[in-house]
Amino acid sequence: MPRHKESFLAKNLLTMLTVAGVLGGTILGCVLRNAQQEPWTPRQVMYLQFPGDIFLRMLKALIIPLLVSSVIGAIGSLDLSLSKKIAARSIIFYATTTVCAVILGIILVITIRPGTSAAADYADVKYTKPAVRQVLTQDTLLDLIRNLFPPNLVHATIAQTQTKLIVPENATGIPLENWKFVEVYEGTTNVLGLVVFGVVMGISLGMMGERGKPLLVFFETLSEAMMIITSWVIWISPLGVFFLVSAKVMETESFGDLVGRLGLYFMTVMLGLFLHGFGTLSVIYFVCTRTLPFTTIGKLSQVLVTAFGTASSSATMPITIQTLDRMGVDPRVTRFVIPVGATINMDGTALYEAVAAIFIAQFRSIPLSFGQVVAVSITATAASIGAAGIPQAGLVTMVMVLDTVGLPAEDVTLILAVDWLLDRFRTTINVMCDSLGARLVDMLSKGELGRVSDNDKNNADPHELVEIAKDTTHI
């Protein structure tokens, strides 16, 4: 019995420490915010957040070598027919969950109508208009396609393509479509381009057979080395999350104002995220695997807490991969599905952007036709795919959704007060969906993965392969 307790503590110590980091950071932030009459200066907040920033930098430093080596190693070790099936299952799962998230968000915001009740609270409030980048929906979609094919792989590790509109001298009355434009590079990793390169390289190494083995072994070894480094870094996560959360709480002016003015909007998004995470995803998971996902979600507690603390699905990716490996998910599946999911699968962001756009329309008393609601749903889906896996990246793509409804971009300020907190919850849902997707694809591909392994040994009996397939696909 004591041995069992010791084993339980050893397996859950990191998770408990990370949860303690979130709770402790929240408490410290509240205490410091109320410890003096004058608000804390940005420099003082920066000093407190500094250890958390170092933790984030360490995680982000792992992303590129882990991403490239994992994708190439995973694809290269599969046969082409199996990699096609895994890719198809992953994309179908991600597309289905994203569409369901958007539809759920639209139903909730139209039913609850949080913007109608919030308008009175904002009647006497003045806003500072932020400098928001003007953007066209079609430009954002074309940039997404451009980034799939980076012209320079080295440059893709630090920048991605972005279309920038040049403001004319007299912009009044000139539609955005007639503005001049130029392609610039935004200082963030082009994850989509690196994933595409990794997939193509992995396929080519798989086709080369024995000649491609040395290079394939190199990437597989690099992936294993990065996972070892990741295991060192994640033990710093409780401390990093503690300082990140406490600094963010210190920056919040008033929780009372946050709940009072935007409470119904906040609760609408939270309800949507909860229903999608524990309702929609659970139903899809059960229908596909005939098992309930709650045991799997429980084992993902460390990943989810880290996602909440960092508010970045990309930064959480190394921990996600390692956790799924420990859960027994085939590494060939994990190293393909998770990087792709962290890049294109943003269920929480899609739901949030659909709710936010219609909330702002309700707040401005602008009626939306059925066609406009459909346009919001499509744009929110596309915007979520284009959103970077970094904190509050959804605010950038939110402008695209507002443009679809014909709302001014500066209305983003209406939701800024609660966005930092909602960002953490929607990132948690994003990461949970990625992880469940990897688990689902692994379970559906169990028999095929087993056949690949046996065929590689060149000594399996065909009748045994049939039995293995039957056993491993039985759920």
pLDDT digits (tens, 9 = 90+) for 152-201: 888 888 888 888 877 777 766 666 677 777 888 877 777 778 878 888 89
* Residue of 169, 163, 136 whose CA lies nearest to 147: 163
Mean per-residue pLDDT over the chain, rounded? 76
Q: How far apart are CA 343 and CA 85, in angstroms?
A: 19
The pLDDT of residue 11 is above 70: no
The residues, any chain, with a CB within 8 Å of residue 296's CB and separated by 6 or more, are 327, 435, 436, 439
The confidence band for 58, taking pLDDT boundaries of 50, 70 and 90, is confident
The pLDDT of residue 471 is above 50: no
- pLDDT recorded at residue 41: 85
Q: What is the mean pLDDT of residues 91-120?
A: 84
The pLDDT of residue 328 is above 60: yes
Q: Give, in degrees to the nearest 5, the angle at Cα 74 between 234 and 199.
A: 110
Q: How far apart are CA 322 and CA 324, in angstroms?
A: 6
Q: For each of the domains in the chain, give its residue range(s) and CATH number, in order of start.
A: 13-444 (1.10.3860.10)
The confidence band for 286, taking pLDDT boundaries of 50, 70 and 90, is very high
Q: What is the mean pLDDT of residues 68-83?
A: 73
* Residue of 99, 111, 92, 182 whose CA lies nearest to 379: 99
- The residue that leads in pLDDT, 176 or 374, is 374
Kindly provide the b/e burial profile for residues 119-150, where b requires at least 16 CB atoms within 10 angstroms of the residue's own CB.
eeeeeeeeeeeeebebbbbebbbebbebbeeb
Backbone angles phi, psi at 166, to 5 degrees: -95, 120
User: What is the pTM assigned to this prediction?
Assistant: 0.63
The pLDDT of residue 282 is above 80: yes
- The residue that leads in pLDDT, 379 or 249, is 249
pLDDT digits (tens, 9 = 90+) for 221-247: 988 888 788 778 878 878 887 888 788
- pLDDT recorded at residue 257: 55
Q: State the residue for tokens 């010791």.
A: 6
- pLDDT recorded at residue 273: 93
Q: Under a CB-based contact definition with an 8 Å cutoff, are residues 339 and 75 in contact? A: no
The pLDDT of residue 458 is above 60: no
The pLDDT of residue 288 is above 70: yes
- pLDDT recorded at residue 141: 73
pLDDT digits (tens, 9 = 90+) for 340-361: 787 677 888 888 888 888 888 8
The pLDDT of residue 2 is above 60: no
- The residue that leads in pLDDT, 262 or 202, is 202
